[in-house]
Structure formats: C-alpha cells, structure tokens
Structure 1
Amino acid sequence: MDQSGFVKLSIIALALVILSFFVRGFSQLLLGRGIAEMLQAPLAIIGFTLLVYLFVRATLDAVGIWTVENPEQDSETNPEGDT
C-alpha cells in the first residue's frame, strides 16, 4: 500500500463512521430506535474496523516492520523507474 491509498482508506473509514451517525439519526426519526440501530451497525462496524486496521498499519510502519511506500521517494532514489 502506498501513502495515497492509505489516505484514501482513512477518508473512507471516517466517512463511514460519520455516515453511520447520520443514518441512525434520520432513521430514528422515521422508523424508530431499534431499526435505526440495525441500519447503523454495519456502517459503524466496518468504519471502526477499518480505522483500527489503519492504526495498526501506521504503528507497524512507525516501528519499521511493515512500511507504507512513498511513491515520490521511490522516484527520487530511482529516477529511471527501473527496478
């Protein structure tokens, strides 16, 4: 995974968590509390799980175990693009 993919996943994860709150709020107004919680749960669980994965991945990158590639840094070290 490169840095741009990491940023995209983090934006998606945050959007899912925020969307789950909107879904719960609006569906609680229209359908009731129980149904609103059932509609919110998948979005919240997926978003939170993705945020936990990204946190672990960033921690492993900081320690140096599993790095997140930087495409700009790769092009500077190897300007021809050869591997």
Structure 2
Amino acid sequence: MRHQTYGKLAVLAFALVLVSFVILGFTRAIVGFRTARLLAAPTTLLAASLVCLLFVRGLLAWSGLRPLE
C-alpha cells in the first residue's frame, strides 16, 4: 500500500464517521431514535472496519513486517 492510498483511506474513514453522525441526526428528527440508529449503522460499521484495517496496516508498517511503499 502506498502512503498516498493510506492517507486517502484515512480521510475516507473520517468522512464516513461524519456522514454517520449526520444521518443519525437528521433521521432522528424525522423518525424515532431506534430507526435512526438502524439507518446510520451500515455507515458506522463501514467506518469502524476501515479504521481497524488502517490500524492493523499501520502496526504492520511500524513493526517493519509490511512497510508502506
């Protein structure tokens, strides 16, 4: 993985977290809180999995096992 790709994925993960909060906030005003959480959950899970992937990739690069190109 290149440094540039790693940075783009980090920005994407941050944007997905923000989008999930926006979805939760706007849908909460229209429907109930439980429904709003259900609608925001896929975006939140995608952001969380991307953050976990980047964390593991960063640990591998830091330890020298799989350096970034």
Q: Which category describes the TM-score, using the shorter chain as reference length?
A: over 0.9
SS, match of residue 27 in structure 1: helix
CA drift of 1:11 comes to: 0.4
2:11 is equivalent to residue 6 of structure 1:
no
Alignment of 1:62-81 (within 5 A): 62-69=62-69
Larger helix proportion of the pair: 2
Counterpart residue type for residue 49 of structure 2: T
Structure 2 partner of 1:75? none
Write the deviation string for residues 27-56 of structure 1: whole angstroms up to 9, x where unpaired.
000111121011110000000110011011
Structure 1 partner of 2:31? 31
In structure 1, distance between residues paired with 2:38 and 2:49: 17
Aligned length: 69
Identity of aligned residues (%): 35
- The structure with more radius of gyration: 1
Counterpart residue type for residue 33 of structure 2: R
Superposed structure 1 runs of 4+ greater than 2 Å apart: none
Q: Where does the alignment leave 5 or more consecutive residues of structure 1 unmatched? A: 70-83
RMSD: 0.7
In structure 2, distance between residues paired with 1:3 and 1:18: 23
